[in-house]
Chains A and B, each alone.
Chain A
Amino acid sequence: MSDVATVPEAKQKPAVALTAKDFATDQEVRWCPGCGDYSILAQIQKVMPTLGIPKEDIVIISGIGCSSRFPYYMNTYGMHSIHGRATAIASGLKATRPELSIWIVTGDGDSLSIGGNHTIHLLRRNFDVNIMLFNNQIYGLTKGQYSPTSETQKVTKSTPYGSIDHPFNPLALAMGADATFIARSMDRDPKHLQSMLLRSHAHKGASFLEIYQNCNIFNDGAFEIFTEKSTKPQETLFLEHGKPLVFGTRQQKGIKLDGLKPVVVTIGEEASVDDLWIHDEHDFYKAQLLIRMFDDPRVEGHFPRPFGVFYETERACYEDIMRLQIEETIATKGKGDLDKLLRGKEIWEIA
């Protein structure tokens, strides 16, 4: 231990290969048995050792809520902060320590209700951090009130007559805030979740990954229709860049664009594969249509729910421009001279 107050520099590669175990802590995981958070934790612990980042350069910042206990279970640097502010805290950390790999764990209440403001501003500034939004469409930690993503008419502890709130479409909100990476995955599909985590990490800029997560205590089965084997094939649409939008038990269904309107077709009947919408992650306009395929699965004739990367684009990151401004100023004006500053322009002397 030495006494020099200099910020450690980022390393290129870890000295030793790490495993998922290296990322686990000695703290007992205290989520309810059966909670979807367990699967997400396992996938993140699996993915982290593959990133080539020493664990001391990884920081996990969370707000408040069930999901926000996450940092305690990861053997990296971590902060379990206050409700809704993880995004703001991460912004300050990234602005000053751009070399760190920063992961924000947040829930639907944390990031879209109390912290909605900071979420949209982080996205527009495009800090190079990864937001993992665990969406369970309920307030779990406060024991079962509706959340800003709960469906209308939902009966909860605070809505005994049914919720009258219109829910957010989180990805549309992210798109509206000019997010540069927008994706959706689910707790019950480990492989897909792992690949989305890797994609989030690979993206330079703010990554917004919504993860459907089952709360088996207060909102059990909220995403059953998308996660259960019996319904998953016809109710979900897995996006792949450059591939047509197909789904169904035998991949027999597809989405075709009729002008600006998506239509579900049966391949070989109403349309051929060549007529289908080809997914392009970089298409700003089509991404908006795709994100709006957000029908209530209770409604007859609804679209399947898309999963995967909806949109990705490149835009300069806040912390890089911030650093550049400083470097350019020093390059042109020289490093600041404190005595010159204190002296100012005009002085007088009392002899």
Chain B
Amino acid sequence: MTTAQETVLQDVVIKFAGDSGDGMQLTGTQFTNNTALLGIDIATFPDFPAEIRAPLGTVPGVSGFQIHFSSDRVYTPGDMCDVLVAMNAASIKVNIKSLKPGGKLIANTDGFDAKNLRLANYTDGVNPLEDGSLHNYEVIKIDVTKLTRESLKDFPELGIKEKDRAKNMFVLGFIYWMYNRTLDSTINFLTEKFGKNEYILQSNIKVLQAGYNYGDTTETFTTRYRVEKAKLPTGKYRSIMGNQALAMGLVAATVKSGLPMFLGTYPITPASDILHELSKHKAFGIRTFQAEDEIAGISAAIGAAYGGSIGVTTTSGPGMALKTEAMGLAVMLEIPLIIINVQRGGPSTGLPTKTEQSDLLQAYYGRNGECPMPVIASATPSDCFDVVYEAVRIAVEHMTPVIMLSDGYIANGSEPWKFPQSEDLQPMEVKFKTGLSDDEIKFQPYLRDEKLVRPWAVPGTPGLEHRIGGIEKQNITGNVSYDPENHQLMVKLRQAKVDKIAEYIPDQTLDSGPAKGKVLVLGWGSTYGSIKSAVLELQQQGHAVSHAHIRYLRPFPKNLGNILRNFDAVLIPELNNGQLIKIIRDQYLVDAKGYNKIMGVPIMKSELVEEIKKYL
């Protein structure tokens, strides 16, 4: 039995790193769920290569999963790690720079043999575990491979390869011991996953327990750690990932609106999980269509929307480029459509598995002709639920395609979510035109209401037969028109309709800080956590810094200009080369300053604190 002392910590960052085949994403997810279920606040950052299996043991093949957990509130996955789990030499090479001095390095010694060292490009004869180069860290060497194999000696039906596949369970068990956890959540997970294969199930549980017992019996550490429950608002919580929340928001929208949902899409990283998730929900009547390409995905969604469904298409940057022309059609048709862009590093194929916010200008302007569309962005994983629900509401209530921007970091990141009850969700007002009224002789498809919205008249409705299309429409009648005055009028009307949405969205609020002050840090999308934690730190130091985070990007909330003018400086951090800043400068003539990081990874709190200080 353990004689280790227990120490209570407030805040811990662990990074699990190994070869892409080492199961680090699973290990990270399991530890995340275990942590979340204890009511500890979490933020995670999975970071994996684009290749499914990059060459074994190499630097490009390293896959990492970072989790930040705390009894205080957590807004980012953390700048630096307290603990680095390194399954091989390459994972040290990639990640050692992010381990805090004095931090713990748990190394699988088997991953540091001559072959692994060579693959990780260490000079002949150099082993970082042996040469003293890691003297700044507490190095814990464990031969995970050997111990895993030994713990499975009573499983003769498993080959060496199969046994080695369970290495990550050993590590997970060991970390569970370190942080004073029970194994229940993972045993439940394994039971669900391998329930039908008792032998595999038992072998995995055996290794998990072996890892735990190793910590218990070897006295590797004289201390175990405990992180207490976080002081989150009261209520019921679950753990949620961005793409999962987004899919649920769509399900909620079909339930609450009473309209059937159709997803037309084509697989693309990092958006595919939305398709995977929605395709499970046939019990909600949701139709998912894996089309032949991105264009067919959005086109089919347009066809479904024309027929009275909530038409949705999901994609990432390159797919957005392909859908451009069809988006223009949806703008001309003035039908509801939800276009979801889970952004990734660009241009072209860019950095498929890395995060970036570089499609904002594309969402704003990236179509031929004067082609305004509302744009709305999620800030955190759980925020995807609310934002996509809002996107559907705007689309159906204002008869317009809507672009929702998420990104790879939000999509794969997870956090605790105080999930809503369906009865608490805002109802959606959806109206089909169901026939001619007494004073109507002929249906006028482009006759607008007070919101400048035209009627949604779906096929099958007697008396409303009409033709629509991509050619310019005559105002009110919808007939083809090449009339110069009419074209100008229609361009202005389509713009006015989108601008008018500002009257139906909430005012912009400050996330934190005084209403007037020295610096306003203005953000959108996934920089939320970094900005929030940097601003809070400076506020604690007594600085007059505020944070506003924009959800409604087009149109902006009506009061945004007033907020901006209350500060001496406006700083806009973005994961791009300066996009929101261009729009803000253009619309409000504010001399905003940018802070731009284009490295495929989130902004760190520490770097942002330093940047904001320049304006204080």
Contacts and interface: CB of A to CB of B under 8 A. Distances in A.
Contacts, number: 236
B460 A342 contact: no
A44 B237 CA distance: 60
B232 interface: yes
A204 interface: no
B465 A6 contact: no
A171 B45 CA distance: 52
Contacts of B433: 1
B326 interface: yes
Interface string A325-338: 11001100111101
Contact of B296 (A96, A117, A341): A117
Contact of A346 (B238, B257, B285, B421): B238
Interface residues of A, number: 68
A268 B371 CA distance: 69
Interface residues of B, number: 84
A92 B308 contact: no
A88 interface: yes
Given A5-B431, A81-B329, A56 B464 contact: yes
B253 to A, nearest CB: 10
Interface stretch (A7-15, A190-198, A211-219, A238-246): A7-15
A99 to B, nearest CB: 7
Interface stretch (A33-41, A72-80, A227-235, A301-309): A72-80
Contacts of A2: 434-435
A57 interface: yes
B460 A85 contact: no
B293 A117 contact: yes
Given A56-B462, A81-B299, A348 B237 contact: yes
A335 B329 CA distance: 35
Given A55-B465, A80-B469, A330-B283, A10 B460 contact: yes
B237 A27 contact: no
A71 interface: yes
Contacts of B466: 77-78
Given A92-B299, A117-B296, A77 B185 contact: no
A57 B460 contact: yes
B296 A91 contact: yes
Interface centre among A57, A59, A88, A91 (most CB of B within 10 A): A88
B590 interface: no
B33 interface: yes
Interface in B447-490: 458-471, 479-480
Nearest to B283: A336
Nearest to A325: B282
A24 to B, nearest CB: 12
Interface string A291-302: 000000000000
A344 interface: yes
Query: Nearest 8 CB-CB pairs, A to B?
Result: A80-B469, A92-B303, A92-B300, A88-B299, A336-B284, A93-B303, A8-B460, A336-B283
10 contacts: A7-B308, A9-B460, A71-B469, A79-B306, A85-B326, A89-B306, A91-B303, A96-B260, A118-B299, A339-B421
Given A6-B432, A336-B255, A341-B251, 19 more contacts: A1-B434, A5-B430, A8-B458, A56-B462, A61-B303, A79-B467, A79-B468, A81-B329, A82-B299, A88-B292, A88-B295, A91-B291, A95-B289, A96-B308, A100-B460, A330-B285, A346-B238, A346-B239, A348-B236
Interface of B: 33, 36-39, 185, 229-230, 232-240, 248, 251-252, 255, 257-260, 262, 264, 281-285, 287, 289, 291-293, 295-296, 299-309, 311, 325-326, 328-329, 333, 419-422, 430-437, 458-471, 479-480
